[in-house]
Amino acid sequence: MHKMWEKYPAKFEKNLGFTYISIEGKQQGLGLSDEEKKGLEKVDFETSRYLNDYFGVNNTPKWNGNQHSYIINDSCWKWGVQANLRNLASSYAPQPDTWWGFPESCINHYWNPDIPWLGQARYYCDYYADLSKSYYDQGQQAYGIAYCLLGWSSHFLTDLGNPLHTGKEAEQLFTGTQPPFGVPLYSWVHTDYENYVNSYWENPSPYWSPGTPPFKNTVYNNWAYYAMTDPVAACENLAQWSHYRLDTQGLFYHVFNWRYELEFNPDLHDITCNALDDTSKHTTGLVKYMQD
């Protein structure tokens, strides 16, 4: 890191309490080498892992906010929604992650098909989907509100496309403690997996087979959708597939056993692509549900 600070001019910006660091001088052709990009990915991975291990009680389970935004934006685009409305939906999509602290955040962004009473994500998706639909039906003057609410609804739907939102409660809540007496901590598996998806969202891992696209292409290249008539039922359907990938296909243990080499695991890559494909189809169906 010190070598890179010396080599490149850095730009510091503050926004909403966060400090963002970026490289200045792109116009002059400055840019990171592949080796330096790989090094920064490792720093980001290890920093996230450290913070999760020691301060995990303050974290919430989620896809990275970028994925929530990208998936709903893409689904709106496929139905020809104009840019300003797509941007409203995508900017509102990550917001539900800020609504609750522990343990409500776990319950409200989650549903386990094997324990049907555990988790409320399907109901929040349904509530905001129907509310967005009612505003959309009022005409163009209410479209802005409708797409904001659509962003919120999509958040809870896409949460259930993440297999780690559909089971393995004990494994995720009690890593490193002796339940039920220890302080509940989220498993590092959850954060490490989401960092993995985010790391290779825009660009493929150099360790994947040649020509393998980044994860976002799975969403972008999907033009199919599941027709939605009942958001609760759609959420349950998506969660059941996610739970199958978590349990039967073993996503949890792929991450657990390959902790420092996730990018080398082809099964984890394929499971993730299938999960994103299903999530995209359901989210595109959600947009159509609101418009019909």
- In angstroms, the CA 32 to CA 34 distance is 7
From the centroid of its chain, how far is CA 175?
22
To which H or E segment does residue 251 belong? helix 251-257
- Residue pair 243/113 in contact by the 8 Å Cβ criterion: yes
pLDDT at 165 over 50: yes
Whole-structure pTM value: 0.76
- Residue pair 278/75 in contact by the 8 Å Cβ criterion: no
Per-residue tokens: 85: 């409305």
**Which residue would you say has higher pLDDT here, 218 or 100?**
218
For the chain, give every domain's residue range: 1-31, 57-291
- In angstroms, the CA 231 to CA 239 distance is 12
List, for residues 119-155, the tens digit of each pLDDT value.
999 999 999 999 999 999 999 999 999 999 999 999 9
Return the CATH class of domain 57-291: mainly alpha
Residue 13's DSSP bridge partners are 20
Label each residue of 41-110 as H, E or C. HHHHHHHHHHHHHHHHHHCCCCCCHHHHHHHHHHHHHHCCCCHHHHHHHHHHCCHHHHCCCCCHHHHHCC
Query: What percent of the chain stands above pLDDT 70?
Result: 73
Q: For the residues 99-115, what does the mean pLDDT come to?
A: 89
